């Protein structure tokens, strides 16, 4: 069932009442033809079929401990295969999202989708209301690459204070896959948890992931916790086998799930900080100088999210504030991003563009952001981002922990706000003891945390913060 068109946006003032709109049934969406990539490996013609997915086919719980629970490679659509999306996919978030092909309501006044989209799967969603504005094979289970690190971070970030120190043992770095992205962690050196998370988010360091997993009781325990958390988020297309997103048999996620996971992570202040950091200083190896004294210098690392840091053929995207990119042989290029323009926050996920030009995943993401900001408020949604199980259950209980009609919930842990309830913008963090400069303001984009509603009874899950634009400091 498509989400209501007239959803009520959360007020910027914490104390303002949130009035739930009358639910209106949106017009039926149609499946538009699959975007042409000029490639014979794009999804087959039946991906543009208009037959509705059977709403009665609810997604079944997958065996999280089975590496083979996803079937053959062809069903996942690996990078080199010519597989089409499955005929039946999950309908979490709405029946239309279970259809193959592009789902969008191109009514009068709604801009047409951008040309040149070649990704196997993508989604454009309003981060606050949860409305899915358009999607293409949203629930196609594909290899996620390092976008899976968003789930790793969302699961483990609450475990330790950022100042916690850890001396790396050789066993911490065991089992890292060949050709993995690395930040440069050395055995017998001590790092803070803050250092390690910078390595995860900026350089997508599998070595940083393995050290944090070792601190969490090992890879096996971490994988189990990540799968449990995915299920709590209702990210039911997701199966974790390797915590760093390195290609592994049976490891899959979907554009829908990665968007849910990003939305959950963005509830956390430290997640937002790391995801929006452009560059930072990272501790190097301890050496002896000419005088025989031990010294430890640092080196600069830069975020590999090219919409955040820019590149030779792609500018920094206006209002961008994260989230995570990835690239492996099986997954191709993957990316989930969050951006704000004119007070509206959108999430876009793009998986495996079939065009193999440089930075193609970012170019297609930017096109979808542009379309989403132009279409928002005009297009009828084709589905919604569902809340976590616990939030949905709490909201459904009379007198339960969920917000009552017309009210937002509490501030949540780590929420910031003025004494009078006004929103307070987060300032860009200065250089700390390690010389880390956090660029929270990117082309004027800075994260402002709003103390206020966590979940509403109409099953929307608004972010407690917005990405707000202001001049670069």
Which residues have a catalytic role annotated? Answer: 146, 149, 204
Q: Is 158 exposed, middle or buried (0-12, 13-18, 19+ CB in 10 A)?
A: exposed
- Is residue 26 within 8 A of residue 3, CB to CB? The reply is yes
- How does DSSP classify residue 253? B
CB 253 within 8 A of CB 238: yes
Residue 436 burial by CB count (10 A; 0-12/13-18/19+): exposed, middle or buried?
buried
H or E element at residue 282: strand 279-288
Residue 136 and residue 313: Cα distance in Å, rounded? Answer: 26
Please tell me what DSSP assigns to residue 382: S
Q: What's the CA gap between 1 and 384, in Å, rounded?
A: 9
The answer to whether 409 and 455 have CB atoms below 8 angstroms apart is yes
Q: Which helix (H) or strand (E) holds 341?
A: strand 332-341
Q: Which helix (H) or strand (E) holds 345?
A: strand 344-353
| Residues with Cβ within 8 Å of residue 222, at least 6 apart in sequence | 152, 155, 156, 212, 213, 216, 243
């Amino acid at each position: 069932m498509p989400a209501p068109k007239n959803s009520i946006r959360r007020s910027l003032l914490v104390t303002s009442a949130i009035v739930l709109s009358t639910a209106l049934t949106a017009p039926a969406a149609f499946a538009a033809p699959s975007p042409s990539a000029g490639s014979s490996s794009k999804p087959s013609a039946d991906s543009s079929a208009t037959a509705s997915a059977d709403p009665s086919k609810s997604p079944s719980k997958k065996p999280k401990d089975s590496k083979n629970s996803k079937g053959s490679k062809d069903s996942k659509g690996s990078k080199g295969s010519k597989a089409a999306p499955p005929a039946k996919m999950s309908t979490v978030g709405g029946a239309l999202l279970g259809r193959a092909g592009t789902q969008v309501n191109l009514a009068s006044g709604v801009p047409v989708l951008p040309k040149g989209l070649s990704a196997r799967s993508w989604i454009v969603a309003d981060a606050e209301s949860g409305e899915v504005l358009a999607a293409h094979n949203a629930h196609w289970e594909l290899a996620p690459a390092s976008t899976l690190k968003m789930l790793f971070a969302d699961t483990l970030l609450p475990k330790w204070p950022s100042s916690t120190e850890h001396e790396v043992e050789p066993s911490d770095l065991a089992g890292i896959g060949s050709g993995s992205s690395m930040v440069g962690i050395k055995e017998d050196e001590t790092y803070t948890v803050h250092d390690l998370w910078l390595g995860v988010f900026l350089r997508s360091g599998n070595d940083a992931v393995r050290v944090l997993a070792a601190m969490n009781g090992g890879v096996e325990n971490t994988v189990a916790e990540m799968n449990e958390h995915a299920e709590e988020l209702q990210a039911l297309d997701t199966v974790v086998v390797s915590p760093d997103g390195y290609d592994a048999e049976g490891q899959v996620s979907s554009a829908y799930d990665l968007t849910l996971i990003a939305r959950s992570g963005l509830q956390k202040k430290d997640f937002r900080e790391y995801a929006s950091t452009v560059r930072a200083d990272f501790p190097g190896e301890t050496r002896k100088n000419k005088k025989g004294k031990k010294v430890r210098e640092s080196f600069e690392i830069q975020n590999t999210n090219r919409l955040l840091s820019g590149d030779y053929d792609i500018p920094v995207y206006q209002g961008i504030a994260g989230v995570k990119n990835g690239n492996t042989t099986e997954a191709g290029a993957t990316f989930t991003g969050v951006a704000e323009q004119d007070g509206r926050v959108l999430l876009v996920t793009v998986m495996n563009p079939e065009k193999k030009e440089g930075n193609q995943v970012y170019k297609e993401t930017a096109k979808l952001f542009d379309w989403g900001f132009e279409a928002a408020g005009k297009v009828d949604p084709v589905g919604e981002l569902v809340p976590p199980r616990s939030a949905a259950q709490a909201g459904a209980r009379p007198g339960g922990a969920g917000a009552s009609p017309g009210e937002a919930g509490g501030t949540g842990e780590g929420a910031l706000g003025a004494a009078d309830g006004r929103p307070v913008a987060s300032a860009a963090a200065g250089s700390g003891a390690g010389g880390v400069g956090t660029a929270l303001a990117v082309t004027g984009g800075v994260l402002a945390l709003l103390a206020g509603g966590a979940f509403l009874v109409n099953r929307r899950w608004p972010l407690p913060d917005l990405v707000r634009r202001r001049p670069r400091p």
